[in-house]
Amino acid sequence: MQKVLDSNIRICCIGAGYVGGPSMVVIADKCPEILVNVVDINPDRIKNWNDEEYKEIPIFEPNLLPLLKRTRGKNLFFSTDVHQEISLADIIFICVNTPTKQIGVGAGRASNLQWLELCAREIATHAKGNTIVVEKSTVPVKTAEVIKDILITETINNISKEKKYFSVLSNPEFLSEGNAIKDLQDPDRILIGGDNINAIDKLSSIYEHWVPKDKIIKTNLWSSELSKLTANAFLAQRISSINSISALCEITGADIKEVSKAIGGDKRIGNKFISSGPGFGGSCFKKDLLNLTYLCEYYGLSEVALYWNQVLEINNWQQKRISKVVIEKLFRNISGKKIAIFGFAFKADTNDTRESPSINICMDLINEGAVLKIHDPKVKEIEIQKAFEDFLENNKELKNNKKLIDLRKVWNYYDSIYDASKNVDAILILTEWSNYKTISWEEIYKVMRKPAWVFDTRLVTNPDEVKKNGIKLWVLGQG
């Protein structure tokens, strides 16, 4: 039973995913007088968010659970009552997924706004009175215009006596998974784009519960939307830049860790986002770069499009070159060989596998005939299988490879890194989980087939520790 709280603001968030869930948990925690209702069309997701034992919470994020326990059932509720919550809300956050289009105009590049459009239509139909609609999903520039158009058409066509008024704001999320709660509690900045100052102030008043006013940046709608794409493009560019240098380090004898430290000491460059790795993953970087290049081409800026596209090209190249190194070191033949994969999430401290470099790298190895033994502390077996199946669905030529027809025969899931290492020729570390930093290599070496290789793409191992146990080691950016 929901309480009536001492506030004139009632929030509805559509989408109980990696963005909507943590964002609303933090708002509910920081604003106890505001009623926050998170809705989702997926009943299983909602059931899991409401799990009494807190064992099935659908996303793993450090520090999420204590906040959820403090707020759920008090001023935070999860349900599938999309229409009802829309009709009661003063502010509606749209946090639905906007994946890259698979078919039609802009396929493989533009975002699929189908879900977002659907939300706008639901809001147009069911909202009452004054409603602020906040676009939080990452979207191409000018998406707010689509939402506005749908809402305005409803306002004009509405034949009922009750008038509806909508204000559309852009309030992009900058949380990084694995660090989401901290990012939300102590953001570098909050960005609110729009043209209705009252609506902007109302949304701002929520964040002002815990964010200093000077960190709340107010812009027009399009600046806000473009800033989100640009921020992610800049971050991704840093990773591709350092990854391109990692290959040069391996050839020249320089050490990428030392180079990162040396350049990061320059305040103008800074020491964040210059860790070399197997390439960036996650739901945003690739999609946002694709959106940006699509937008530039659409407006005739082909040089700009080419520039940003190169960031993606380097990312693909980095992933490909890792599987090539593994094959090369294992005597140019991995057919029938067992390889352990340590880490499937796209980064540590999340169970998210979207665009994880592990997917492409594993598929390359499987395609070459390897049998994989996969370990990840948080990603479930079913999620890995789904990621492989989705990959094959989008890669028609691989789909016909006989070895891949029965996927379950070419990989297995292990709860223990020790069991995953038994009889393997190599271990490939792809995610920087902290427990990979403290592996007892002596024990692992004993159960591996010799010569035993470790490929560390996240620079988490202590090279002396690994090598002293007889293991051959290849480290990204060191060779």
Site string (289-328) toward ligand UDX, x via CB under 6 A: ----------------------------------------
Q: Is 284 a catalytic residue?
A: yes
CA 286 to CA 100: how far, in whole Å?
A: 9
CB of 408: closest distance to ligand UDX in angstroms? 25
Q: Which of 9, 17, 151, 453 binds ligand UDX (CB under 6 A)?
A: 17
**Sole window of 112-120, 146-154, 210-218, 449-457 interacting with ligand UDX (rule: CB under 6 A):** 112-120
Show Cβ contacts of residue 167 under 8 Å, excluding neighbours closer than 6 positions. Answer: 130, 131, 132, 133, 194, 196, 198, 199
CA 171 to CA 190: how far, in whole Å?
A: 8
Residues forming beta bridges with residue 341, ordered by sequence position: 374, 428
**Sole window of 37-45, 157-165, 395-403, 443-451 interacting with ligand UDX (rule: CB under 6 A):** 37-45
Cα separations in angstroms, 18 against 174, 296, 368:
12, 29, 34
Q: Which of 177, 349, 364, 456 binds ligand UDX (CB under 6 A)?
A: 177
CA 366 to CA 337: how far, in whole Å?
A: 10
Q: How many CB atoms lie within 10 A of CB 102?
A: 10
DSSP symbol at 408: G
282 binds ligand UDX (CB under 6 A): yes
88 binds ligand UDX (CB under 6 A): no
Q: What is the DSSP string of 117-172?
A: HHHHHHHHHH--EEEEEEE-S---TTHHHHHHHHHHHHHHH--SSS-EEEEEEE--
Cα separations in angstroms, 384 against 340, 368, 411, 457:
14, 19, 10, 20
Burial readout 158-187 (b: 16 or more C-beta within 10 A, e: otherwise)? eeeeeebebbbbbbbbbbbbbbbbebbeeb
CA 110 to CA 102: how far, in whole Å?
A: 9
CB of 405: closest distance to ligand UDX in angstroms? 29
Measured from the CB atom, the residue of 194 and 278 that comes closer to ligand UDX is: 278
CB of 433: closest distance to ligand UDX in angstroms? 11
CB of 130: closest distance to ligand UDX in angstroms? 23
360 binds ligand UDX (CB under 6 A): no
Measured from the CB atom, the residue of 144 and 334 that comes closer to ligand UDX is: 144
Q: Which of 239, 259, 362, 374 binds ligand UDX (CB under 6 A)?
A: 239
CB of 29: closest distance to ligand UDX in angstroms? 18
89 binds ligand UDX (CB under 6 A): no
Measured from the CB atom, the residue of 10 and 136 that comes closer to ligand UDX is: 136
**Sole window of 70-78, 146-154, 202-210, 269-277 interacting with ligand UDX (rule: CB under 6 A):** 269-277
Q: Radius of gyration over alpha carbons of the chain, in Å?
A: 24
346 binds ligand UDX (CB under 6 A): yes
Show Cβ contacts of residue 138 under 8 Å, excluding neighbours closer than 6 positions. Answer: 98, 111, 172, 173, 228, 229, 232, 284, 287, 288
Candidates 119, 284, 296, 362; catalytic one: 284
Q: Which of 5, 65, 88, 118 binds ligand UDX (CB under 6 A)?
A: 118
The two tokens of residue 100 are 């890259």
Binding site for ligand UDX (CB under 6 A): 14-20, 40-42, 45, 95-98, 115, 118-119, 137-138, 173-177, 232, 235, 239, 273-275, 277, 280-285, 287, 346-347
Question: Could you list the active site residues?
Answer: 284
